[in-house]
Amino acid sequence: MTVLGIESTAHTCSIGIVGDRAEVLALAGDMYRPPKGGIHPREAANHHVELLPDLVERAMRDANISPKEIDGISFAQGPGLGPCLRAGATVARALALAWDRPLVPVNHCVSHIEIARALSGLDDPMLLYASGGNTQVIAYGRGRYRVLGETIDVGIGNFLDKLWIALGGTFPGGPQIEAEAKKGSELHPLPYSVHGMDVAFSGLLTASLALADRGIARADLAYSVETTAYAMLTEITERALAHRQMRHVVLGGGVACNERLRGMVRAMVEERGGTMFAPPRHLCVDNGAMIAWTGELARLSGLAVPIAASAVDPRQRTDQVLAPWRENGGASTTRTAVN
């Protein structure tokens, strides 16, 4: 089984070709980086429209396969920026028509989860999905992924990006804050905003900027921001584990690249006798392979659609879509743990 997946929800356009058991046969992508400030949806979409045809060719060449060997075309239906989503969906529809293959829309958030779960070898872990626009603690239950806790304002990645840009830096801020934080050591108190299993970041953003105005060292600011924000995520993940009587955690989304977050969640999970898994970094950030793999699961569950029913949905939530491939426990869809 081989599926080609198209990711284009926001800053990244990427083509993945994935075979059985989430084996990545090819991955070709590019990130739109605004010269300054945040992402302008139309400019990001123009970037994707320009690059996607070449990326398809490159991925097919790298995988060394012909269109006849592709079993389906999947694309991220939502959530995301409307113009960016439409760029990827249009290419997906064109390929499905030209190659006469099933067209499979998938949810971007569920795709972050499924690639991480497949690589983890864990059948039913708790999921901490920490990315640009989303921050959710998720567990599977009765036919779909359930959001047990989430951010009530911005996603953690957007918070980090906004902070870094306000301090004069460039997008994406998360990795640059991580590099700064590694040089810091002094912990300045910042608002710690946990509400049950939800979190909020806007107070933390305001207070971090106020701290910067006081002239504290950039490295200590980054260290304090990471310590506070990642402790909040670790706490809500632990609460969800306790309530659900679960032990294992899988991380997904771009912020799951962060070593500090990985370390804090790992320490908490191991203390509780569980296992923590995070995918390799190129599969944490947005990528076409996660869309292809989830497309494969969805296609085998009969979720291909006609072109007329393939509209994008910029606000589609994790818990809005069905995950019928999980109904039998999901054992056949995972492979042996790689770390």
Would you tell me which residues interact with ligand ATP (CB under 6 A)? 9-10, 108, 112, 131-134, 155, 157, 160-161, 172-175, 178, 253-255, 257-258, 285-286
**Torsion, Cα of 10, 101, 24, 331 (10° steps):** 100
Residue 2 or 320: the one with the smaller Cβ distance to ligand ATP is: 320
294 binds, among Fe ion, ligand ATP, none (CB under 5 to 8 A by kind): none
Kindly state the smallest distance separating residue 65's Cβ from ligand ATP, in Å.
26
Number of residues forming the site for Fe ion (CB under 5 A)? 2
- Strand partners for 72: 3
Residue 286 or 296: the one with the smaller Cβ distance to Fe ion is: 286
CA distance 62 to 238: 41
The site map against Fe ion for 232-271 (x = CB under 5 A) is ----------------------------------------
Q: Is the peptide bond before 172 cis (omega within 30 degrees of 0)?
A: yes
Q: Binding Fe ion by CB under 5 A: which of 107, 131, 135, 333?
A: 131
Which residue carries 């390799």 as its tokens? 280
Which residues neighbour 73 within 8 Å (Cβ) at sequence distance 6 or greater?
3, 4, 5, 6, 92, 95, 96, 99, 101, 102, 103, 104, 295
Q: Provide Rg for the chain, Cα atoms.
A: 20
Q: Sign of torsion, CA 20 135 159 311?
A: positive
Please calculate the CA angle 187-178-116 and round it to the nearest 5 degrees: 120
Residue 150 or 220: the one with the smaller Cβ distance to ligand ATP is: 150
220 binds, among ligand ATP, Fe ion, none (CB under 5 to 8 A by kind): none
124 is a site residue for Fe ion (CB under 5 A)? no
299 binds, among ligand ATP, Fe ion, none (CB under 5 to 8 A by kind): none
Which residue carries 């989860």 as its tokens? 113
Residue 131 or 310: the one with the smaller Cβ distance to Fe ion is: 131
Residue 134 or 294: the one with the smaller Cβ distance to ligand ATP is: 134
286 is a site residue for Fe ion (CB under 5 A)? yes
